[in-house]
Structure 1
Amino acid sequence: MYLTYIILRPHPYEEAVKRGERKRKRGGGRKGVLPTIDDKLLFILYYLKSYPTFDVTSSVFNMSRSKACENFHKLLPVLHETLSRIGVLPHRNFKNVKKMKEIFKNIEQIIIDATERPHHRPKNNEKQSSMYSGKKKNMP
C-alpha cells in the first residue's frame, strides 16, 4: 500500500515546476561530495563502524560538519530500510525470552556487550537504597 502511494503520487519536483517555484532545471545545481550510491554506502558504513565525531567524518570525506551530520541522518534510515527489506537486519528487541530462544536456536553462545552509565545518586536514604544494585557487596 505504501509503495503504491509513492508511485501514484507526483514527484515534489514536478509539482514545484507546475507552480513555477523552480529556478533550475532538474539535475542542475552543485553536485554533492557523495555523488554515487557507493560513496554514500561507504560514508554510512564508515560512520557506523568507527562512530567518529562529525568533525572527523567531515575531514575524512571533505565536507562541512553540518553536511556530515545531515548526510548521516539522511542515509541511516535508508540503510535500515534496505537491510530490513532484504531480511538481514539483526534482531535488537524481543517480545519475550521464548521469542529470543526461537531466533537463536542454532546459536551456542551469545555475547552481550553493554556499557554502564552513571546516574544521579539520590540524597534521600530510602531512595538511595532502592537504587542500589548490590554490586559493591563483599564477595566471600
Structure 2
Amino acid sequence: MLAATFGLPRSKACEHALRLAKALERALRTQGVLPARAIDSLAQVQAVFAEVPVPLLDAPERPPHRPRAVVDRAAGYSGKKKTAP
C-alpha cells in the first residue's frame, strides 16, 4: 500500500516501513505503553482478552505450494484419491 500510494518501489517501501516500525516501537517504549509481544500460554491469552466478547483471528489463507515440474510433483503425491463420505 505504501509503495502504491507514494509511487515507491516495493523494496524501498519495505525499508521505510521497517524503519518507521522501529521508530514507533522506540516511541511507545519511551512512553511506557509498548504492548506485550509474547504470550506463552492459553491462560495468558484468556487473561489479556477477558473483556472481548467474541475474539476473531485474522490469518491469511494461502494455497499449499505445489511444484510445477512433473518430477517434483510425483514425489509429493500419495496416490490416494479423495472420496466423499
Fold conserved between structures, TM > 0.5: yes
**How far off its partner does 1:93 sit?**
4.3
Instruction: Name the SS of the counterpart of 1:73 in structure 2.
Output: helix
User: What RMSD over aligned residues (CA atoms) do the two structures have, in Å?
Assistant: 3.4
- Map of 1:81-120 to 2, 5 A cutoff? 81-84=26-29, 85-87=31-33, 89=35, 91=36, 93-120=38-65
For structure 2, the residue ranges without an aligned partner over 5 or more in a row are: 67-74
Question: Which has the larger Rg?
Answer: 1
Task: Classify 1:79/1:137 alpha carbon distance in 2 versus 1 (closer, same or farther; 3 Å).
Answer: farther
Partner of 2:78: 125
TM-score w.r.t. structure 2 length? 0.56
Equivalent pairs counted in the alignment come to 74
For structure 1, the residue ranges without an aligned partner over 5 or more in a row are: 1-51, 130-135
TM-score w.r.t. structure 1 length? 0.38
Runs of 4+ in 1 over 6 A off after TM superposition: none
State the percentage of identical aligned residues: 26
Kindly indicate whether structure 1 or structure 2 has the higher relative contact order, using CA contacts under 8 Å at least 6 residues apart: 1
The counterpart of 2:25, out of the listed 80, 85, 88, is 80
